[in-house]
Structure 1
Amino acid sequence: MTTEIADDVYGCLIGGAIGDALGAPVEGWTYERIEEEYGTLQDFKQYDMPYANTHAGAVTSDTTLRQILSLAIVENGSRVTPEEFGQVFCDRLNPDRVWINEEIIVNKLSAGMDPWSSGTGSIPDNKMTSAITPVGIVNLGAPTQAYQDGFVLASVLQDGPDRHGTATVAAGVAEAITRGATIDTVLATMTEHATGKMDRAMDIAIGLAEESDTPEDLIERLYDEFLDWRWLPSRWDREKYHEGEVFSANTLEVVPVAVAMLRICDGEVNRSIIEGVNYGRDSDAVATIAGSIAGALHGADEIRSDWKSKCETANREFFAELEDDPDADFRSMADRLVGVLERERDRAEERARMLSEVLE
């Protein structure tokens, strides 16, 4: 195991977890409310949420689902199918740690529904989009395969454009964790691996980032020029949306905003997390996606050490519950994912040998 790749994988996992935990206390807030209360929020706070630990530094359902997907990958020792992911999802998930959509999916799968289509008709939700990053890790250097795997696995929990957003994030991580990657190559890869509405939404958000002088300017422009009340479920009206009473968890907002934050921060991991949090609205989702991608790009060594230690400590109970192992944490999961990469290398070498034999 090389130190560099282990640090990058750990950076992806812990960067995502930090963004999730840092953004949780202000989920649903507007950027004006965050500024009024905290100025710039950049330290963990205790929070009130029905499906999380709520201690300062504890993760929410975004990271819960990501670690379950990671566990499915390491237990299978390879890329996984919806059946394999769905089995671990049902076996290991504590329903008290997830939102209603994930509870519904567990019930569907437990009733025998096909995991390849159990996400059909789901509420627009970005939990799987936040969770998909380990698929990018195991598809290092193969963003097209990561996109395909991400799209297929998203079908377990998502439907419609949300699946495309999930696949785009997987492709971005597959590039970010590749040696020699830059924020420019990551964003180019994500743009190339984006389709339909997601392609257009990312194009608008990145354009706003490139036209903005500061993150604060970008956030104001995103609120004024990018948000679309039609992304909400139909029972919410336009007035409540614009008055800040409700917010969208739709990937058509969250993924483009996360990418815009990465662009305005030039991919710097700590800044990307902070600005993702202070954007507000679905702040933990924006920051966890930005933190995962920037963490994979730059590695855990670039992430604030106080964040890492506090986040690891605050989630010991979660890991003990998930893996029944007092020594399990984000770093140990990163090491196990590197082991999967080693097996993927061995399989690729064996296939190359077989192709050479038949093509001689």
Structure 2
Amino acid sequence: MSWLEDRAVAVIAGAAVGDALGGAVEGWMPEQIEERHGGRVTGIVGPWYPDWRAARPIAPYHKGDGHITDDTLMTRALVEVYAKRRAHLDAYAVAEDLVPLMIGEPRWIPELDSTALLLQRVFLAEKWIVARLHYGHVDPREAGVGNIVNCGAAMYVAPIGIANAGNPAGAYAEAIDVTGAHQSSYGREAAGVFAAMIAAAVAPGATLDDVVRAALDLSHDGTAEALRAVVEAFGGVSEPVSGDDAERDLARRVREVVSPFDSVGSEYRQMSMDARRPSRTKSIEELPVALAMVLTHGGDFRSSVLAAVNYGRDADSIAVMAGALCAALGGSAVVPAEWLDEIESASRMDVRETGRLMAAAAADILAADHCRARARSVFLSEWLDSADADA
């Protein structure tokens, strides 16, 4: 397996594992998670309510039991767009290729236990993409304006980081363009920064310091402040956190650091009045929390993902980001095969094949980037020679 294929498989698989583990406890608080499961979650668990079809407020979704959520379904759809175009994407690619996948190609939806359209599973913030682009015919670059501001765009942009491997600034710019069709404000910003972090992490020889540097160098406004606060609070941890009591204390401290930038509020199911509205001072909670979990566990996949899962709140998306980052740094070998195998079986999805599909598309994209870079280098050399001669 080539370096690129290994990292692409790792990122997609790492994100899917975090998604499936976190989906089972999404929306709940740490104390509720421990009460429900008799302690901290340590792997794949069943639905919160055994009679999930009739339960509220989660029905009709079969979360748990190794089922991926819309985070991975949207990631897979974006990979399919890359596989079709084999080029860098923009907001128009969302309108022309992603939306048709969402409304025109039935696929197995694990949480519905049936074949359905992706549109029928995604949250309202993602249904917005279809309403604005397919029915409203809005300019794709502006379609995200007016949507609720959440992590919906950030949760599926890891493939953009792979397509821009080793180029965080390029990943940021591409993600900001692509997600203009979906989000605005700090939701869109988080997507750009997360894609940049993945691009930094998949570069040969990359370290966690490289990921942090990319995040701090490219982020803006409240997102930058939230990430900086996390790095200041947890970037100097010398020994990875371990032990249940230490993990509980960590979750409390992470929440304290991130809460000033989070518009949702202390009670996840009882949101504040300004929740999910555009702001220059706020950040989605999921990205800085994911970075905190990765930093405090030294980039270890298993412990970082489980810390994200047991944090609760938007646990699936937090664990998606933590899992993708750890796997990008460590490669496919760090993703526990016993979890991934069960998730692939339960979700009826070949997650590894999705990674290979993205790797093949990224190889063509990076090769084209190389050709353009060489042509640009030749032009600049000739221009400099000409300028020197004129001088």
Normalising by structure 1, what TM-score?
A: 0.88
Unaligned runs of 5+ in 1: 233-240, 320-328
Q: Is the 8 A contact 1:51 1:97 kept in 2?
A: no
Task: After TM superposition, list the pairs within 5 Å mapping 1:214-225 onto structure 2.
Answer: 214-225=246-257
Alpha-carbon distance change, 78 to 230 in structure 1, aligned in 2, over 3 angstroms: closer
Q: Secondary structure at the match of 1:54?
A: coil
**d(CA) in 2 for partners of 1:192, 1:30:** 32
Tell me, yes or no, if structure 1 residue 108 matches structure 2 residue 124: no
Task: Specify the code of the residue in structure 1 equivalent to 2:123.
Answer: W
Task: After TM superposition, list the pairs within 5 Å mapping 1:80-119 onto structure 2.
Answer: 80-93=89-102, 94-111=118-135, 112-119=137-144
Q: Is the 8 A contact 2:79 2:357 kept in 1?
A: no
Larger Rg: 2
**d(CA) in 2 for partners of 1:51, 1:335:** 32
**d(CA) in 2 for partners of 1:130, 1:244:** 18
More displaced 10-residue stretch of structure 1: 174-183 or 223-232: 223-232
Unaligned runs of 5+ in 2: 53-57, 103-117, 277-281, 383-391
Cα offsets for 1:307-333 (capped at 9, x unmatched): 1101111222xx5xxxxxxxxx22222
More displaced 10-residue stretch of structure 1: 171-180 or 5-14: 5-14
Task: After TM superposition, list the pairs within 5 Å mapping 1:245-264 onto structure 2.
Answer: 245-246=269-270, 251-264=283-296
Deviation at 1:229, TM superposition (A): 8.6
**d(CA) in 2 for partners of 1:114, 1:53:** 35
Q: Which structure shows the bigger proportion of residues in helix conformation?
A: 1
Q: Is the 8 A contact 2:226 2:283 kept in 1?
A: no
Task: After TM superposition, list the pairs within 5 Å mapping 1:1-360 onto structure 2.
Answer: 2-38=1-37, 39-47=39-47, 48=52, 49-50=58-59, 52-54=61-63, 56-93=65-102, 94-111=118-135, 112-210=137-235, 214-228=246-260, 231-232=263-264, 241-243=265-267, 245-246=269-270, 251-316=283-348, 319=349, 329-355=350-376, 358=379, 359-360=381-382
Deviation at 1:217, TM superposition (A): 2.2
Task: Specify the code of the residue in structure 2 equivalent to 1:30.
Answer: M
**d(CA) in 2 for partners of 1:357, 1:192:** 29
Runs of 4+ with deviation above 6 angstroms:
none
Deviation at 1:336, TM superposition (A): 2.0
Task: Specify the code of the residue in structure 1 equivalent to 2:91.
Answer: P
Q: Is the 8 A contact 1:130 1:288 kept in 2?
A: yes
Normalising by structure 2, what TM-score?
A: 0.81
Q: Secondary structure at the match of 1:135?
A: helix
* Percent identity (aligned): 26
**d(CA) in 1 for partners of 2:378, 2:82:** 30
Q: Supply the RMSD in Å over aligned alpha carbons.
A: 2.2
